[in-house]
Amino acid sequence: MRVLVSDNISERGVEILRNASLEVDVKTGMKPDELKACIGQYDGIVIRSATKLTADVIECATNLKVIGRAGSGLDNVDKAAATSKGIVVMNTPGGNTITTAEHTIALIVSLVRKIPQATQSMKGGSWEKKKFMGVELFDKTLGILGLGNIGSQVAKRALGLGMKAICYDPFLNEELASNLGIKKVSLDELFAGADIITVHTPLTSETRNIINKDSIAKMKNGVRIVNCARGGIVDEAALYDAIKSGKVAGAALDVFEKEPLDNSPLMTLDEVICTPHLGASTHEAQENVALAVADQIADYLVNGTIRHAVNFPSIPADQVNTLRPYIELAEKMGCFASYFTEEEVKEIGIELRGEAADVMNEPVKIAAVKGFLSPVLEHTVNFVNASHIAKERGIVVKVTKNADAGDYNTRIDLSIKSAKKDFSISGTLFSKKDPRIIKIENFIIEVIPEGTMLYINNNDRPGVIGSIGGIFGEAGINIARMHFGRESKGGMAVSVVSVDGSIGDDVLDKIRKLPNILEVKKITMNG
């Protein structure tokens, strides 16, 4: 398999990929058309912030399986396009946490003490001591917009400088913030109460221009704004106007809406200090993220292990062995159920019961959906895009949990609701690893879901099974297993026959014409 490294990373990262028996090409500085022309040759790509993987580039990535970002930000990757094509998108959260937090603090100190301006003045031959009067950080309130890995590290350092810290983060537990010595507030309270505001959120539709003309109007007079996160979170035109009016005393910016920066009015203001996207630019951080992303990509391409994916749930190493049988069971159940659904599907319901209720539900859910869609979309659906495809088709997927598994230690119930007909199936694990189907609709049965199988719904009458066996014998088809279930004596019954090899249409037609046969379906299990 081949991997393209399209941005500069540590040579040690390249060595990790090559040591995993992957063929690696390092081609940095490519223009979009050059990238489009070659990306179809690769199974994986390693990028930093320079490479832009837009939808049209990803469309050309016909063999790509994984995108690895050496760093945390992914605004240069069209994640929806990648997900739609079944490409895993990974980043390296935490690799540049400390260095970005330290850079933020460095900018804050430089901003309030006007260190860059004073340096430039002195190098120009001046000694302007009064001109560069600063303010203390002690007892000032730092407003942190986004208390993730980097934001929390900034908070710790700010508290060490004697500052007060407030934060806005809708996904943060208030108790956790309190334990860090930080007060969680609303967004408007942060704008109104902070002397300095620093942003540490990803760039999304919700955070784009979150600091704008209206939000700046809610801030203290003389507030200072710092951005080491992503360009576009701060409305640069609004910031310029606010500094010119005196509302904002100054700004420290490491990131910009358009990079490299080109003729920005902000660069004409003495109150603005800036760096060229240096938040993660330390030797330690670059080494860390390069090694991490290379290790993740190699592990995925060689072993299939997914870590730090943004479009697929990462499975902790200590849970892989526990989850794998449930994922296999759910996928096989979904595949089996797909053959019984001919009308428009409205909803897929997955109930995890007993011990199954204690495992991570997201991978199991995705496996069931992937299994269900695969018989129809064999060449386009995988674990990455299964949920996306289901959503595109208007299929609602619901997961519930139940501590009671009935007569079993663990159990999964799968239900399919469609426009005209519903279908249900149940499964369990034997010996904690072997998948079994234990119920099909109202029929109690034990089926090993593998290979080619024939599902037969019939009246419970003597001779049915013998006639089926006779037809298989005449066709030279060996029966590997036969599983039976019935509602009641003389009532409705089902048979699931597993065979070696394939079953032709002529055999199916003969079985359908037998007396007491009500329904016949050929099922081919994926995987």
The answer to the question of residue 446 being in a domain is: no
Q: Is the dihedral of CA 400, 403, 406, 409 positive or negative?
A: positive
Which one of the listed residues 103, 200, 224, 277 is annotated catalytic? Answer: 277
423 forms bridges with which residues in the sheet? Answer: 416
- C-alpha dihedral (385, 388, 392, 396), degrees to nearest 10: 130
Query: What is the distance of C-alpha 257 from the center of its chain?
Result: 25
pLDDT value of position 526: 62
Pick the last residue of a domain from 380, 412, 441.
441
Same domain, 90 and 101: no
Determine whether 295 is exposed, middle or buried from the number of CB atoms within 10 Å of its CB (0-12, 13-18, 19+): middle
Asked whether residue 266 falls in the same domain as residue 381, the answer is no
On the CB side of 214, CA atoms within 13 Å amount to: 4
Per-residue pLDDT of the chain (527 residues; tens, 9 = 90+): 999 999 999 999 999 999 999 999 999 999 999 999 999 999 999 999 899 999 999 999 999 999 999 987 788 999 889 988 989 999 987 788 899 999 999 999 999 999 999 999 999 999 999 999 999 999 999 999 998 889 999 999 999 999 999 999 876 777 888 888 999 999 999 999 999 999 998 887 788 999 999 999 999 999 999 999 999 999 999 999 999 999 999 999 999 999 888 889 999 999 999 999 999 889 999 899 999 999 999 999 998 888 888 887 777 767 778 888 999 999 999 999 988 886 678 899 999 999 999 999 999 999 999 899 888 765 567 778 888 888 878 899 999 999 999 999 999 999 999 877 899 999 999 988 899 999 999 899 999 998 889 999 999 899 988 999 999 999 999 999 998 988 888 888 999 999 988 888 899 999 999 999 999 999 988 65
Q: Is 27 inside any structural domain?
A: yes
Amino acid identity for residue 101 in this structure: A
The total of structural domains in the chain comes to 4
The parent domain of residue 222 ranges over 97-274
Please enumerate in sequence order all residues whose Cβ is within 8 A of that of 287, keeping only pairs 6 or more positions apart, or say none. 10, 12
Model pLDDT, residue 182: 95
The catalytically annotated residue of 103, 230, 353, 436 is 230
Alpha-carbon 82 to chain mean position:
11
What CATH number is associated with residue 387? 3.30.1330.90
User: Per residue, what are the HEC states of 434-479?
Assistant: EEEEEEECCEEEEECCCCEEEEEEEECCCCHHHHHHHHHHHCCCCE
Length, in residues, of the chain: 527
Q: Are residues 182 and 294 in the same domain?
A: no
Query: Do residue 107 and residue 251 come from a single domain?
Result: yes
Beta strands in 182-231 (DSSP E): 183-184, 196-199, 223-227
| DSSP element (H, E) containing 166 | strand 164-168
Task: Say if residue 180 is in the same domain as residue 257.
Answer: yes
CB atoms within 10 A of CB 487: 14
**Residue 54 covered by a domain:** yes
Tell whether 236 and 126 lie within a shared domain. Answer: yes
Q: What is the spatial distance between Cα 296 and Cα 67, in angstroms, rounded to a whole number?
A: 10
Has residue 337 been placed in a domain?
A: yes
* CATH code: domain of residue 82: 3.40.50.720
In the residue annotation, 353 being an active-site residue is answered as no
Is 230 catalytic? The answer is yes
Do 129 and 34 sit in the same domain of this protein? no
75 with 88, same domain: the answer is yes
Which residue type does 465 have?
I
Residues 113 and 24 reside in one and the same domain: no
For residue 279, being part of any structural domain is answered with no
Residue 193 lies in a domain: yes
CB count in 10 Å sphere of residue 513 = 10
Q: Is 277 a catalytic residue?
A: yes
Angle, alpha carbons 324-346-524 (nearest 5°): 50
Asked if 325 and 435 sit in the same domain, the reply is yes
Is residue 308 in some structural domain? no
**Residue 315 to residues 43, 156, 306, 390: CA-CA distances in angstroms?**
22, 29, 7, 22
CATH of the domain at 461: 3.30.70.260
Backbone dihedral angles phi then psi of residue 444, each to the nearest 5 degrees: -80, 125
- 323 and 422 in a common domain: yes
Specify the pTM.
Answer: 0.63
Q: State whether 239 and 288 are in the same domain.
A: no
Looking at residue 292, its amino acid is: A
**Which residue out of 136, 259, 344, 474 is catalytically annotated?**
259
